[in-house]
Structure 1
């Protein structure tokens, strides 16, 4: 029940799978630095080796072929390509590695979706201010141009930045992601703003220089839960759910898809909290400059990372310090009827994806949508027969089908997170999202398919079979 040409994929990111953290002149990233600070990551683990995809890429490709994927989403390591973050120092071995990955995928009839930035900023640029520096947008644009020029003849789907919300909040306010800053209520908005500026510059560069010849499409991956009022009949809960959506999806979707600016409810909430707490500086939410490339319209599709849902009610303004949470003034509740996957925060709510997709269709002028991440975690004793994750994929893809067939959402593809177990950021290797299990206890790092991976492969195989039958029927009707 999906349209012809639907993209069936799986996703990974460079730091989480590649390893080879110092191989062949690669520069350090902020995650290399972060993981070396005691107590930052579960059991002080790191991604120095991870799945060793830098040396074992052929094993990854075998997994991709075993699933029957039509697409594969990967990210490029900025520090592997440009060790100091600038185009003045190009690492040819890094270029060779990604050329091989892309060429091997295409040789197997698998199309790459390439993410330019997935959390791993070169440490050299962090030393210059990182994402809090206004200069970072120009540096990112130069990096993006380098990648478009180097790989764009073969890559037709680009993601500039993955989950700017996570980088802004978890990395610069909560301190639980690299670079580990806790500048509450100020740095997150600056970082988010600079990421939007960087994305827009890269999108305009692609459109003006590369699009006509390369024929690709560019967007950024926005993560969001689905939020709905705890009490649907309560006006305060309805308003709280709207604020929650504005401070997550709206923070980055509104400037790109709707108005070219942040949501009004977000701007007014931040200004009201600043006044309430006696903040006397300039607005904590930066303003877009007319002297820079426009933000509005800088996406050729909507890339959505969805994992879970929440019921929402207001907190009642009880926060007495500046933070994005106090600005938002909401309390999120997990419905007790929702099953929990391995992580406590990850309630399994497949129909929340359908609701969020309909919201995107209705509020963002019905863009083409790719689900660029969606997955189910496993924690604790290993279960190769992961029946709960099998049910998750079947239920989620069923809801996705309803969004397409009944709600009219223009969904173009689905990418499971993740191709294989990997380094899950601050959770290290304690959490497994993979369609393939990776045996991190042995140097061979063997990949073995979970039952859920086989279930996903069966879904893809049935889709391909149905498409062939449909094409044969159409040809038969034409011949008649």
Structure 2
């Protein structure tokens, strides 16, 4: 039997622990009441793409994509020599993926459909019923869990036989993509109300047809790069018009996904201001202006600089093939909203130090600007540096330049070489960039939703599995591809639940239930249990 004095001390300690937990919870609630809130209709989501997560590369009647071809012919091109043959195995684990979305509380899932899984030979002569069934199951499961599908029609997964017939360098692809899009509208449009035609034209054309580090690995940054972009704009417009003319009765919306860093002047000089305008013309306006500007067409700065550079290189015509007026009119206005992918920012300059630093010809040489980042910015992957105000500045710029379009941020996230569940850099990135979204809302930007890239670790293209973007960690050495939430997932969950960004919220990803109210309950239960034991001893 314990002495009465020791019993009192023990009870006091337990009571003190409980009181501190309750006070911490109350303090956190008070803090949250004083923080800015996301509007009640603002939608949070997560994003992925088919090749990066699905796996099942040769299952279910799927044909070869140009990535499948690269994996068979040159797997050593990947940073780790790995392939996307299995990836995160979401073809078989999609229900677990949706469970994760439910855990987070998201209302949007942005995913892409694999062109060769639906049309194994690229054309609509044969529609693969197993592929249709897979995406029907995925879409139905999402809707059953109150999650809205945002479906990307093309996320870089071109059927290999179409690639061999010219891919994005032939204007035939305008018809090919249109026919493929029509099949998707026919099969899924009764339930999918948000369509995204093509993901990141600049990145796709630069990596596939400029730098050549993605398939089809063509290195032509001054010619094929522009032709790829031109055909992407025409193909996007074709898909848009097919939807509006043949499927308007479905009542959905359709847009294109544009990627953009934020280019900022390096100083107050006139040369920096000019450099920024040229940077934005080449890296944003090339794909934005033809769709979202009042007059359509490429930015005049882009047209003039490529024409002048082409002439100086002895060419009789510009390497940037012009649109006809009919094509300009066909492309202009073909987006019901702007789907924006943003990750990082750059300072932009132009001086003699960049002379001779670019390949000739190339779009980099045509733009003729230099860029750098602030060394104080947190670095993730090789190209990703954290500067959250850049997103705010970009959103305000788009509002002012393109007459305040409706915007969804369809990708934003932090990639790191590190594994593990404690991802403080990703947490800081997430808080900073969602705060930038709140700043943009306060500034009058018509932004309706935000999607974190990515729901889970995936096959990160040429980086293989070395670069991790996931809110959930995937164990790629485990045949079961086990997924576990990182700290950033729990922080995002709390932002979604509370609709505020609480800088003091500090979950422990190693606890099954890490919210503070659960800690209070567990402490209170401990108090009751110990009290009962002591009572029995007495």
The two structures share one fold, judged by TM-score above 0.5 = yes
CA contact (8 A) 2:50 2:113 kept: yes
- 2:367 maps to 1:332: no
Name 2:104's counterpart in structure 1. 67
Residues in 1 aligned to 2:437 and 2:127: alpha-carbon distance in whole angstroms: 42
Change (3 A) 1:320 1:57: closer
- 2:72 maps to 1:27: no
Provide, for residues 127-165 of structure 1, a one-character-per-residue CA deviation record: whole Å limited to 9, x for no partner: 110000110001101111111111011011110000010
Change (3 A) 1:46 1:202: same
Answer with 1 or 2: which has the greater Rg.
2
Q: SS where residue 182 of structure 2 aligns? A: helix
- 2:400 maps to 1:362: yes
Residues in 1 aligned to 2:335 and 2:500: alpha-carbon distance in whole angstroms: 29
- RMSD between superposed Cα atoms in Å: 1.4
Equivalent runs, 1:154-193 vs 2, <5 Å: 154-193=191-230
- 2:38 maps to 1:2: yes
Residues in 1 aligned to 2:436 and 2:500: alpha-carbon distance in whole angstroms: 19
Report the TM-score, using the length of structure 1 for normalisation.
0.93
Q: SS where residue 218 of structure 1 aligns? A: strand
Name 1:108's counterpart in structure 2. 145
Residues in 2 aligned to 1:18 and 1:128: alpha-carbon distance in whole angstroms: 26
Equivalent runs, 1:295-334 vs 2, <5 Å: 295-314=331-350, 316=352, 317-318=355-356, 319=358, 321-334=360-373
Residue correspondences, number? 459
Cα shift at 1:459: 0.3
- 2:412 maps to 1:374: yes
CA contact (8 A) 2:201 2:232 kept: yes
Cα shift at 1:3: 2.6
Cα shift at 1:383: 2.8
CA contact (8 A) 2:80 2:465 kept: no
Provide, for residues 178-229 of structure 1, a one-character-per-residue CA deviation record: whole Å limited to 9, x for no partner: 1111123000111000000000011111111112x21111110000000011
Q: SS where residue 449 of structure 2 aligns? A: strand
Report the TM-score, using the length of structure 2 for normalisation.
0.84
Cα shift at 1:335: 1.1
Cα shift at 1:388: 1.7
CA contact (8 A) 2:75 2:82 kept: no
Cα shift at 1:44: 1.8
Cα shift at 1:59: 1.1
Name 1:448's counterpart in structure 2. 484
- Work out which of the residue numbers 387, 391, 400 in structure 2 matches 1:349: 387
Gaps of 5+ in 2: 1-36, 502-538
CA contact (8 A) 1:350 1:395 kept: yes
Residues in 2 aligned to 1:442 and 1:197: alpha-carbon distance in whole angstroms: 43
Cα shift at 1:6: 1.4
